[in-house]
Chain A
Protein backbone atom coordinates (compact mmCIF):
# COMPACT_ATOMS: atom_id res chain seq x y z
CA UNK A 1 0.00 0.00 0.00
CA UNK A 2 1.55 3.27 -1.12
CA UNK A 3 0.26 5.71 1.47
CA UNK A 4 2.32 8.02 3.63
CA UNK A 5 0.90 9.34 6.88
CA UNK A 6 2.46 12.39 8.46
CA UNK A 7 1.58 14.27 11.56
CA UNK A 8 1.34 18.04 11.59
CA UNK A 9 0.26 19.56 14.91
CA UNK A 10 -3.27 18.47 15.65
CA UNK A 11 -3.73 17.03 12.20
CA UNK A 12 -2.83 13.89 10.32
CA UNK A 13 -1.95 14.05 6.63
CA UNK A 14 -2.48 10.88 4.61
CA UNK A 15 -1.18 10.98 1.04
CA UNK A 16 -2.52 8.25 -1.21
CA UNK A 17 0.03 7.65 -3.96
CA UNK A 18 -1.54 4.82 -5.93
CA UNK A 19 -4.80 2.99 -6.40
CA UNK A 20 -5.98 0.99 -3.42
CA UNK A 21 -7.21 -2.56 -3.51
CA UNK A 22 -10.15 -3.60 -1.40
CA UNK A 23 -8.06 -4.96 1.41
CA UNK A 24 -5.63 -2.05 1.29
CA UNK A 25 -8.53 0.36 1.65
CA UNK A 26 -9.78 -1.49 4.71
CA UNK A 27 -6.27 -1.57 6.14
CA UNK A 28 -5.85 2.17 5.56
CA UNK A 29 -9.16 2.90 7.24
CA UNK A 30 -8.21 0.81 10.24
CA UNK A 31 -4.79 2.38 10.46
CA UNK A 32 -6.18 5.92 10.29
CA UNK A 33 -8.94 5.20 12.80
CA UNK A 34 -6.30 3.88 15.13
CA UNK A 35 -3.89 6.78 14.61
CA UNK A 36 -6.59 9.44 14.98
CA UNK A 37 -7.42 8.12 18.40
CA UNK A 38 -3.86 7.48 19.46
CA UNK A 39 -2.48 10.88 18.40
CA UNK A 40 -5.64 12.67 19.53
CA UNK A 41 -5.76 14.30 16.09
CA UNK A 42 -8.53 16.85 15.52
CA UNK A 43 -8.32 16.77 11.78
CA UNK A 44 -7.50 14.32 9.00
CA UNK A 45 -6.28 15.58 5.64
CA UNK A 46 -6.45 13.04 2.82
CA UNK A 47 -4.24 14.04 -0.11
CA UNK A 48 -5.28 12.55 -3.47
CA UNK A 49 -3.17 14.79 -5.72
CA UNK A 50 -1.14 11.83 -6.99
CA UNK A 51 -4.18 9.96 -8.27
CA UNK A 52 -5.06 9.97 -11.96
CA UNK A 53 -8.52 8.55 -11.38
CA UNK A 54 -11.04 8.71 -8.60
CA UNK A 55 -13.72 6.12 -9.25
CA UNK A 56 -16.88 5.31 -7.36
CA UNK A 57 -15.01 2.71 -5.34
CA UNK A 58 -12.39 5.15 -4.11
CA UNK A 59 -15.09 7.75 -3.44
CA UNK A 60 -16.82 5.24 -1.17
CA UNK A 61 -13.54 4.42 0.55
CA UNK A 62 -12.87 8.12 1.20
CA UNK A 63 -16.36 8.60 2.55
CA UNK A 64 -16.05 5.66 4.87
CA UNK A 65 -12.63 6.82 6.07
CA UNK A 66 -14.12 10.24 6.87
CA UNK A 67 -17.09 8.79 8.74
CA UNK A 68 -14.84 6.51 10.76
CA UNK A 69 -12.47 9.38 11.58
CA UNK A 70 -15.36 11.51 12.73
CA UNK A 71 -16.51 8.83 15.12
CA UNK A 72 -12.99 8.88 16.51
CA UNK A 73 -13.06 12.66 16.87
CA UNK A 74 -11.40 14.10 13.75
CA UNK A 75 -12.83 16.14 10.90
CA UNK A 76 -11.75 15.08 7.38
CA UNK A 77 -10.81 17.23 4.40
CA UNK A 78 -9.94 15.92 0.94
CA UNK A 79 -7.13 17.74 -0.83
CA UNK A 80 -5.70 18.02 -4.32
CA UNK A 81 -8.27 16.78 -6.83
CA UNK A 82 -6.77 17.75 -10.18
CA UNK A 83 -8.76 19.47 -12.98
CA UNK A 84 -8.93 16.44 -15.29
CA UNK A 85 -9.89 14.21 -12.37
CA UNK A 86 -12.63 16.62 -11.34
CA UNK A 87 -14.00 16.74 -14.90
CA UNK A 88 -14.04 12.95 -15.10
CA UNK A 89 -15.77 12.65 -11.74
CA UNK A 90 -18.47 15.11 -12.69
CA UNK A 91 -18.85 13.34 -15.98
CA UNK A 92 -19.57 10.06 -14.21
CA UNK A 93 -21.85 11.86 -11.75
CA UNK A 94 -19.53 11.10 -8.85
CA UNK A 95 -19.27 13.40 -5.93
CA UNK A 96 -17.73 13.11 -2.52
CA UNK A 97 -20.63 14.51 -0.56
CA UNK A 98 -20.81 15.14 2.28
CA UNK A 99 -17.02 15.41 2.31
CA UNK A 100 -15.31 18.77 2.05
CA UNK A 101 -12.73 19.17 -0.71
CA UNK A 102 -10.13 21.91 -0.91
CA UNK A 103 -7.34 22.86 -3.26
CA UNK A 104 -4.17 22.33 -1.25
CA UNK A 105 -2.70 21.70 2.18
CA UNK A 106 -2.69 25.37 3.16
CA UNK A 107 -6.40 25.54 2.49
CA UNK A 108 -7.03 22.33 4.36
CA UNK A 109 -5.18 23.52 7.45
CA UNK A 110 -6.96 26.89 7.35
CA UNK A 111 -10.33 25.24 7.01
CA UNK A 112 -9.63 22.76 9.79
CA UNK A 113 -8.35 25.51 12.07
CA UNK A 114 -11.58 27.42 11.58
CA UNK A 115 -13.94 24.52 11.85
CA UNK A 116 -12.23 22.79 14.75
CA UNK A 117 -12.47 26.04 16.64
CA UNK A 118 -16.13 26.45 15.77
CA UNK A 119 -16.79 22.75 16.11
CA UNK A 120 -18.54 22.54 12.77
CA UNK A 121 -17.45 20.77 9.63
CA UNK A 122 -20.17 19.19 7.64
CA UNK A 123 -19.93 15.45 7.43
CA UNK A 124 -16.26 15.42 8.40
Chain B
Protein backbone atom coordinates (compact mmCIF):
# COMPACT_ATOMS: atom_id res chain seq x y z
CA UNK B 1 0.00 0.00 0.00
CA UNK B 2 1.38 3.42 -0.90
CA UNK B 3 1.55 6.34 1.48
CA UNK B 4 -1.07 8.10 -0.57
CA UNK B 5 -3.56 5.30 -0.18
CA UNK B 6 -2.79 5.09 3.47
CA UNK B 7 -3.37 8.75 4.16
CA UNK B 8 -6.57 8.56 2.15
CA UNK B 9 -7.79 5.75 4.34
CA UNK B 10 -6.82 7.62 7.45
CA UNK B 11 -8.53 10.80 6.44
CA UNK B 12 -11.54 8.74 5.49
CA UNK B 13 -11.63 7.35 9.02
CA UNK B 14 -11.33 10.84 10.42
CA UNK B 15 -14.27 12.05 8.41
CA UNK B 16 -16.41 9.16 9.50
CA UNK B 17 -15.76 9.75 13.14
CA UNK B 18 -15.66 13.48 13.59
CA UNK B 19 -19.23 14.29 12.63
CA UNK B 20 -20.14 17.87 13.37
CA UNK B 21 -18.16 18.25 16.56
CA UNK B 22 -15.62 21.03 16.92
CA UNK B 23 -12.05 19.70 16.77
CA UNK B 24 -10.80 21.49 19.92
CA UNK B 25 -13.45 19.70 21.92
CA UNK B 26 -12.03 16.42 20.68
CA UNK B 27 -8.59 17.43 21.73
CA UNK B 28 -9.53 18.14 25.28
CA UNK B 29 -11.64 15.00 25.49
CA UNK B 30 -8.87 12.96 23.97
CA UNK B 31 -6.54 14.28 26.68
CA UNK B 32 -9.00 13.33 29.32
CA UNK B 33 -9.46 9.80 28.05
CA UNK B 34 -5.74 9.33 27.55
CA UNK B 35 -5.29 10.29 31.19
CA UNK B 36 -7.93 7.76 32.13
CA UNK B 37 -6.30 5.00 30.07
CA UNK B 38 -2.94 5.75 31.70
CA UNK B 39 -4.52 5.57 35.12
CA UNK B 40 -6.14 2.22 34.40
CA UNK B 41 -3.06 0.91 32.63
CA UNK B 42 -2.36 -2.22 34.66
CA UNK B 43 -6.00 -3.33 34.82
CA UNK B 44 -6.68 -2.84 31.10
CA UNK B 45 -3.38 -4.38 30.13
CA UNK B 46 -4.26 -7.48 32.15
CA UNK B 47 -7.65 -7.63 30.55
CA UNK B 48 -6.21 -7.38 27.09
CA UNK B 49 -3.60 -10.06 27.70
CA UNK B 50 -6.27 -12.33 29.12
CA UNK B 51 -8.51 -11.86 26.11
CA UNK B 52 -5.61 -12.58 23.76
CA UNK B 53 -5.02 -15.86 25.56
CA UNK B 54 -8.74 -16.66 25.62
CA UNK B 55 -8.99 -16.07 21.88
CA UNK B 56 -5.98 -18.36 21.44
CA UNK B 57 -4.10 -15.74 19.48
CA UNK B 58 -0.29 -15.63 19.39
CA UNK B 59 -0.08 -19.32 20.19
CA UNK B 60 3.56 -19.28 19.16
CA UNK B 61 4.51 -17.04 22.07
CA UNK B 62 4.73 -17.68 25.83
CA UNK B 63 2.50 -15.88 28.29
CA UNK B 64 5.46 -13.86 29.55
CA UNK B 65 6.37 -12.73 26.04
CA UNK B 66 2.80 -11.80 25.28
CA UNK B 67 2.66 -9.72 28.43
CA UNK B 68 5.88 -7.86 27.56
CA UNK B 69 4.66 -7.07 24.06
CA UNK B 70 1.22 -6.17 25.38
CA UNK B 71 2.76 -3.60 27.73
CA UNK B 72 4.83 -2.04 24.98
CA UNK B 73 1.97 -1.96 22.49
CA UNK B 74 -0.42 -0.57 25.10
CA UNK B 75 1.92 2.32 25.93
CA UNK B 76 2.61 3.05 22.28
CA UNK B 77 -1.07 2.86 21.55
CA UNK B 78 -1.98 5.38 24.24
CA UNK B 79 0.83 7.68 23.12
CA UNK B 80 -0.43 7.48 19.55
CA UNK B 81 -3.93 8.38 20.77
CA UNK B 82 -2.52 11.32 22.68
CA UNK B 83 -0.22 12.81 20.07
CA UNK B 84 -2.09 11.72 16.97
CA UNK B 85 1.28 10.68 15.54
CA UNK B 86 1.60 7.04 14.66
CA UNK B 87 5.29 7.14 13.83
CA UNK B 88 6.68 5.58 16.98
CA UNK B 89 3.89 3.02 16.99
CA UNK B 90 4.65 2.26 13.35
CA UNK B 91 8.33 1.77 14.14
CA UNK B 92 7.45 -0.46 17.04
CA UNK B 93 5.01 -2.48 14.90
CA UNK B 94 7.73 -3.01 12.27
CA UNK B 95 10.16 -4.12 14.91
CA UNK B 96 7.58 -6.41 16.50
CA UNK B 97 6.68 -7.90 13.11
CA UNK B 98 10.32 -8.57 12.38
CA UNK B 99 10.55 -10.55 15.61
CA UNK B 100 7.31 -12.51 15.34
CA UNK B 101 7.13 -13.28 11.61
CA UNK B 102 9.86 -15.95 11.76
CA UNK B 103 7.84 -17.61 14.53
CA UNK B 104 4.85 -18.09 12.28
CA UNK B 105 2.52 -15.38 13.58
CA UNK B 106 -0.19 -14.74 11.01
CA UNK B 107 -1.78 -11.53 9.79
CA UNK B 108 -5.16 -12.39 11.31
CA UNK B 109 -3.53 -12.78 14.74
CA UNK B 110 -1.90 -9.37 14.57
CA UNK B 111 -5.09 -7.69 13.40
CA UNK B 112 -6.97 -9.73 16.00
CA UNK B 113 -4.94 -8.46 18.95
CA UNK B 114 -5.09 -4.84 17.82
CA UNK B 115 -8.86 -5.04 17.42
CA UNK B 116 -9.08 -6.73 20.82
CA UNK B 117 -7.25 -3.82 22.40
CA UNK B 118 -9.57 -1.41 20.62
CA UNK B 119 -12.46 -3.38 22.04
CA UNK B 120 -11.06 -3.55 25.56
CA UNK B 121 -10.48 0.20 25.62
CA UNK B 122 -13.90 0.94 24.15
CA UNK B 123 -15.55 -1.11 26.85
CA UNK B 124 -13.54 0.66 29.51
CA UNK B 125 -14.65 4.01 28.11
CA UNK B 126 -18.29 2.92 28.06
CA UNK B 127 -17.90 1.87 31.68
CA UNK B 128 -16.35 5.18 32.63
CA UNK B 129 -18.88 7.47 30.91
CA UNK B 130 -21.95 5.31 31.32
CA UNK B 131 -23.70 8.03 33.36
CA UNK B 132 -23.00 10.77 30.82
CA UNK B 133 -24.40 9.61 27.44
CA UNK B 134 -23.64 12.96 25.75
CA UNK B 135 -20.02 12.90 26.76
CA UNK B 136 -19.80 9.23 25.78
CA UNK B 137 -20.85 10.07 22.23
CA UNK B 138 -18.18 12.71 21.99
CA UNK B 139 -15.59 10.43 23.53
CA UNK B 140 -16.30 7.89 20.84
CA UNK B 141 -16.17 10.53 18.13
CA UNK B 142 -12.68 11.30 19.32
CA UNK B 143 -11.58 7.78 20.12
CA UNK B 144 -12.83 5.77 17.12
CA UNK B 145 -10.99 7.55 14.31
CA UNK B 146 -7.74 7.47 16.23
CA UNK B 147 -8.22 3.81 17.08
CA UNK B 148 -9.04 2.94 13.47
CA UNK B 149 -5.98 4.74 12.31
CA UNK B 150 -3.83 2.85 14.78
CA UNK B 151 -5.31 -0.50 13.70
CA UNK B 152 -4.60 0.32 10.07
CA UNK B 153 -1.05 1.38 10.89
CA UNK B 154 -0.25 -1.79 12.79
CA UNK B 155 -1.83 -4.05 10.15
CA UNK B 156 -0.05 -2.32 7.31
CA UNK B 157 3.28 -2.38 9.13
CA UNK B 158 2.93 -6.10 9.63
CA UNK B 159 2.01 -6.80 6.02
CA UNK B 160 4.80 -4.52 4.76
CA UNK B 161 7.29 -6.34 6.90
CA UNK B 162 6.04 -9.68 5.69
CA UNK B 163 6.29 -8.62 2.07
CA UNK B 164 9.82 -7.44 2.69
CA UNK B 165 10.73 -10.86 4.11
CA UNK B 166 9.11 -12.58 1.12
CA UNK B 167 11.03 -10.37 -1.30
CA UNK B 168 14.30 -11.18 0.43
CA UNK B 169 13.56 -14.87 0.32
CA UNK B 170 12.67 -14.75 -3.36
CA UNK B 171 15.95 -13.02 -3.98
CA UNK B 172 17.97 -15.67 -2.19
CA UNK B 173 16.07 -18.50 -3.84
CA UNK B 174 16.85 -16.92 -7.18
CA UNK B 175 20.54 -16.80 -6.37
CA UNK B 176 20.66 -20.35 -5.09
CA UNK B 177 18.57 -21.92 -7.73
CA UNK B 178 20.78 -22.02 -10.79
CA UNK B 179 23.97 -23.90 -9.98
CA UNK B 180 26.24 -24.88 -12.84
CA UNK B 181 28.03 -28.11 -11.96
CA UNK B 182 31.06 -29.62 -13.56
CA UNK B 183 30.75 -33.42 -13.70
CA UNK B 184 34.00 -34.12 -15.44
CA UNK B 185 36.38 -32.42 -17.78
CA UNK B 186 34.49 -30.46 -20.47
CA UNK B 187 31.07 -31.54 -19.19
CA UNK B 188 28.67 -29.31 -17.25
CA UNK B 189 25.28 -30.04 -15.74
CA UNK B 190 22.71 -27.35 -15.17
CA UNK B 191 19.82 -28.64 -13.09
CA UNK B 192 16.87 -26.26 -13.15
CA UNK B 193 14.31 -26.53 -10.39
CA UNK B 194 11.25 -24.40 -9.80
CA UNK B 195 9.59 -21.69 -11.78
CA UNK B 196 11.40 -20.61 -14.88
CA UNK B 197 10.40 -17.00 -15.52
CA UNK B 198 11.87 -14.60 -18.03
CA UNK B 199 14.25 -12.99 -15.59
CA UNK B 200 15.57 -16.30 -14.34
CA UNK B 201 15.89 -17.67 -17.85
CA UNK B 202 18.01 -14.69 -18.83
CA UNK B 203 20.19 -15.03 -15.74
CA UNK B 204 20.55 -18.72 -16.47
CA UNK B 205 21.78 -18.05 -20.00
CA UNK B 206 24.41 -15.65 -18.75
CA UNK B 207 25.61 -18.01 -16.03
CA UNK B 208 25.73 -20.94 -18.41
CA UNK B 209 27.71 -19.14 -21.09
CA UNK B 210 30.15 -17.76 -18.53
CA UNK B 211 30.58 -21.27 -17.12
CA UNK B 212 31.20 -22.67 -20.59
CA UNK B 213 34.00 -20.19 -21.03
CA UNK B 214 35.48 -20.65 -17.57
CA UNK B 215 35.39 -24.45 -17.60
CA UNK B 216 36.12 -24.87 -21.29
CA UNK B 217 33.01 -27.01 -21.54
CA UNK B 218 32.18 -28.87 -24.71
CA UNK B 219 28.92 -30.42 -23.64
CA UNK B 220 26.27 -29.02 -21.32
CA UNK B 221 23.34 -31.02 -20.03
CA UNK B 222 20.40 -28.82 -19.03
CA UNK B 223 18.02 -30.82 -16.89
CA UNK B 224 14.53 -29.40 -16.49
CA UNK B 225 12.93 -32.32 -14.64
CA UNK B 226 12.16 -29.92 -11.79
CA UNK B 227 10.36 -27.39 -13.96
CA UNK B 228 6.60 -27.72 -13.87
CA UNK B 229 5.55 -25.42 -16.68
CA UNK B 230 7.08 -23.32 -19.36
CA UNK B 231 5.65 -20.50 -21.45
CA UNK B 232 6.44 -19.46 -25.00
CA UNK B 233 8.85 -16.67 -24.02
CA UNK B 234 10.86 -18.94 -21.78
CA UNK B 235 10.80 -21.76 -24.35
CA UNK B 236 12.22 -19.46 -26.98
CA UNK B 237 14.78 -18.26 -24.48
CA UNK B 238 15.84 -21.85 -23.91
CA UNK B 239 16.22 -22.36 -27.65
CA UNK B 240 18.34 -19.19 -27.80
CA UNK B 241 20.49 -20.42 -24.95
CA UNK B 242 21.17 -23.65 -26.79
CA UNK B 243 22.00 -21.67 -29.92
CA UNK B 244 24.33 -19.28 -28.06
CA UNK B 245 26.10 -22.22 -26.44
CA UNK B 246 26.59 -23.70 -29.89
CA UNK B 247 28.13 -20.47 -31.14
CA UNK B 248 30.63 -20.72 -28.33
CA UNK B 249 31.44 -24.25 -29.39
CA UNK B 250 29.48 -26.22 -26.81
CA UNK B 251 26.71 -28.72 -27.46
CA UNK B 252 23.69 -28.34 -25.20
CA UNK B 253 21.48 -31.30 -24.39
CA UNK B 254 18.12 -30.77 -22.75
CA UNK B 255 16.85 -33.56 -20.54
CA UNK B 256 13.80 -34.26 -18.43
CA UNK B 257 11.11 -32.55 -20.46
CA UNK B 258 7.89 -33.61 -18.79
CA UNK B 259 5.15 -34.90 -21.07
CA UNK B 260 3.21 -31.77 -20.24
CA UNK B 261 6.03 -29.43 -21.24
CA UNK B 262 6.70 -31.48 -24.37
CA UNK B 263 3.08 -31.11 -25.44
CA UNK B 264 3.08 -27.41 -24.58
CA UNK B 265 6.15 -26.81 -26.69
CA UNK B 266 4.63 -28.62 -29.64
CA UNK B 267 1.33 -26.79 -29.25
CA UNK B 268 3.10 -23.45 -29.03
CA UNK B 269 4.96 -24.23 -32.21
CA UNK B 270 8.38 -23.48 -30.72
CA UNK B 271 11.08 -24.34 -33.22
CA UNK B 272 12.93 -27.19 -31.58
CA UNK B 273 14.92 -28.38 -34.55
CA UNK B 274 18.11 -26.98 -33.04
CA UNK B 275 17.53 -28.60 -29.67
CA UNK B 276 18.94 -31.93 -28.75
CA UNK B 277 16.68 -33.55 -26.17
CA UNK B 278 17.02 -36.77 -24.24
CA UNK B 279 14.38 -38.30 -21.97
CA UNK B 280 16.13 -38.18 -18.63
CA UNK B 281 19.35 -36.98 -17.04
CA UNK B 282 20.91 -40.43 -17.16
CA UNK B 283 20.32 -40.70 -20.88
CA UNK B 284 21.57 -37.15 -21.35
CA UNK B 285 24.82 -37.94 -19.54
CA UNK B 286 25.30 -41.04 -21.67
CA UNK B 287 24.88 -39.01 -24.84
CA UNK B 288 27.21 -36.34 -23.46
CA UNK B 289 29.90 -38.87 -22.63
CA UNK B 290 29.53 -40.40 -26.07
CA UNK B 291 30.02 -36.96 -27.61
CA UNK B 292 33.11 -36.32 -25.51
CA UNK B 293 34.33 -39.84 -26.17
CA UNK B 294 34.36 -39.35 -29.92
CA UNK B 295 37.62 -37.45 -29.65
CA UNK B 296 39.24 -40.25 -27.73
CA UNK B 297 38.01 -42.87 -30.18
CA UNK B 298 39.32 -40.74 -33.02
CA UNK B 299 42.75 -41.15 -31.52
CA UNK B 300 43.49 -37.43 -31.63
CA UNK B 301 43.25 -36.78 -27.95
CA UNK B 302 45.62 -38.95 -25.95
CA UNK B 303 43.85 -41.51 -23.74
CA UNK B 304 42.85 -39.92 -20.46
CA UNK B 305 44.89 -40.77 -17.42
CA UNK B 306 42.49 -42.89 -15.34
CA UNK B 307 43.62 -41.20 -12.13
CA UNK B 308 42.47 -37.76 -13.20
Contacts and interface: CB of A to CB of B under 8 A. Distances in A.
B160 interface: no
Contacts of A82: 213, 248
Interface in B230-249: 240-241, 243-249
Interface string B54-78: 0000000000000000000000000
Interface string A74-105: 00000101110111011100011000011110
A118 interface: yes
A85 B212 CA distance: 14
A72 B242 CA distance: 32
Given A103-B216, A107-B218, A110-B300, A86 B248 contact: yes
Nearest to A110: B300
B298 interface: yes
B295 interface: yes
Nearest to A112: B300
Contacts of B210: 83
A85 B295 CA distance: 27
Contact of B298 (A81, A104, A106, A117): A117
B301 A110 contact: yes
A103 B240 contact: no
Given A90-B240, A107-B218, A110-B300, A101 B246 contact: yes
* Interface residue SS majority, chain A: helix
A19 interface: no
Most-contacted residue by chain A among B213, B217, B248, B300 (CB, 10 A): B248
A91 B240 contact: yes
Nearest to B202: A87
The contact size tier of chain A is: 20 to 34
Contact of A89 (B206, B213, B244, B295): B244
Interface in B218-261: 218, 240-241, 243-250
B209 interface: yes
A64 interface: no
A114 B209 contact: no
A83 B208 CA distance: 9
Contacts of B217: 103
Given A107-B218, A114-B300, A118-B298, A83 B240 contact: no
A102 B249 CA distance: 3
A9 B196 CA distance: 47
B300 to A, nearest CB: 4
Given A87-B205, A90-B240, A90-B243, A81 B300 contact: no
Contact of B300 (A79, A83, A113): A113
Given A86-B244, A114-B295, A103 B301 contact: no
Interface string B271-300: 000000000000000000000001100101
Given A86-B248, A87-B205, A107-B249, A95 B243 contact: yes
B153 to A, nearest CB: 47
A27 B210 CA distance: 34
A110 B247 contact: no
Contact of A103 (B249, B294, B300): B249
B206 A87 contact: yes
Contact of B247 (A96, A107, A114, A118): A96
Nearest to A54: B247
A90 B218 contact: no
A120 B245 CA distance: 22
Contacts of B216: 103-104, 106-107
Given A86-B245, A101-B249, 19 more contacts: A83-B213, A83-B244, A83-B248, A85-B247, A86-B247, A87-B209, A90-B240, A90-B241, A91-B240, A101-B247, A101-B248, A102-B249, A103-B213, A103-B216, A103-B218, A106-B216, A110-B301, A114-B294, A117-B300
Interface of B: 205-206, 209-210, 212-213, 216-218, 240-241, 243-250, 294-295, 298, 300-301
